[in-house]
Amino acid sequence: MTGEGRPKLSAVDHDADAELLDRLRAGDEQAFVMLVCRYRDSMLRLAAGYVPSRAVAEEVVQDTWVGVLRGLSGFEGRSSVRTWLFRILVNRARTAGARERRAVAVSEVGPAVDPARFDQTGHWAVPPERWIEEADDRLVAAKMAHRVRSAIEDLPGRQREVVTLRDVEGLSSDEVCSVLEITEANQRVLLHRGRSRVRQVLETEFGRA
Amino acid sequence: MRLRIGPRHLEIGRLEIVRREIVCQQAVELVTDYLEGTLPRAARRRFEKHLAACPHCTEYLAQIRATIRLAGSVTPGDLTPQMQDEFIALFRSWQSDPGEGEQDRR
């Protein structure tokens, strides 16, 4: 089970990726452009989490495709095309990000909800303020989506990676583990922390007690 | 994150009956495991039992689901013609000089 979120890429899409890759190997440049189109937005969003500017993110994506072309003959199809592409991107983005971004030591652990919001018996003392209904208004929903995106960008590194891949890009947990080379359990902890924090941001900004 | 679910063990002979009621502070830590489908069956039952009795935690779970939905609500864009040209140029330069194979075999 892959959990919640947008519809995941179906098997058909994976087949389409594999077919594009075959055509690319055969020297079909349109297949290359189509593959780039398919992943451009995802790659840019993902890269943007590591580097300070859109321009640098564009460079990382460009650099990734160079790496894809060079690595093409070595790709054995043991992982999905998408997983392979994202892994190349993440490696490049991390390298670029290490240069560009100061390392922030933010704790990756902590409770999902501020303990002060519970009473001594562990029941809600300050229950969640409501905000979901506000999203019925399309303008508010757009604002929320925007805020979610920036809240994800502000997450500590590992949480940001996992939440972006899972919830923004819609990868399965298996794929995320493979891209980031982490364990299933670790993936879940990071996802939990990250989602909890993003929810809190929404509550703080849009909640009505 | 893995809070142990406050165990009050009653030992009856060799049979251990574990009375465990989840409280809210524990429930919020189980939300991701629940959504991922990785909660063991007994824990899942306790979690759902708690939800059925607790509107606040039900709301909390709904908010996490809404958060996930919002994160996934992106509108994809297309390449501009100029970007297409750039990538075609990239492809052609690779074809004329494939370079070193990278060790990214998977």
Domains of chain B with bracketed CATH: 1-72 (1.10.10)
Residue A107 in any domain: the answer is: no
Pair A202, A121 in one domain? yes
Mean pLDDT within A199-204: 96
Residue A108 in any domain: the answer is: no
With H, G, I as helix, E, B as strand and everything else as coil, classify residue A124. Answer: strand
Pair A83, A149 in one domain? no
Residue range B29-81, pLDDT digits in tens: 999 999 999 999 999 999 999 999 999 999 999 999 999 999 988 655 556 66
With H, G, I as helix, E, B as strand and everything else as coil, classify residue A172. Answer: coil
Q: Which residues of B touch A123 (CB under 8 A)?
A: 23-25
The CATH number of whichever domain residue A87 belongs to comes to 1.10.1740.10
Nearest Cβ partner of B104 from A45, A88, A193? A88
Distance CA B46, CA B57 (A): 13
Pair A128, A188 in one domain? yes
Do residue A121 and residue B23 have CB atoms under 8 angstroms apart? yes
Residue A2 in any domain: the answer is: no
Mean pLDDT within A20-42: 90
Distance CA A145, CA A202 (A): 10
| Residue where a domain terminates, one of A43, A73, A100 | A100
Pair A144, A76 in one domain? no
Q: Which domain holds residue A30?
A: 11-100
Check if the beta carbon of residue B3 is closer than 8 Å to that of residue B47. no
Residue range A110-137, pLDDT digits in tens: 899 999 999 999 999 999 999 999 988 8
- In total, chain B counts a number of residues equal to 106
Residue A5 in any domain: the answer is: no
Residue A131 in any domain: the answer is: yes
| pLDDT at res. A138 | 86
Distance CA A175, CA A166 (A): 9
Nearest Cβ partner of B38 from A37, A188, A199? A188
pLDDT band at A100 (very low <50, low <70, confident <90, very high): low
With H, G, I as helix, E, B as strand and everything else as coil, classify residue A208. Answer: strand
Pair A91, A130 in one domain? no
Do residue A145 and residue B37 have CB atoms under 8 angstroms apart? no
The ipTM (two decimal places) reads 0.76
Residue A90 in any domain: the answer is: yes
Q: How many domains, chain A?
A: 2
| Residue where a domain terminates, one of A70, A100, A130 | A100
Prediction pTM value = 0.73
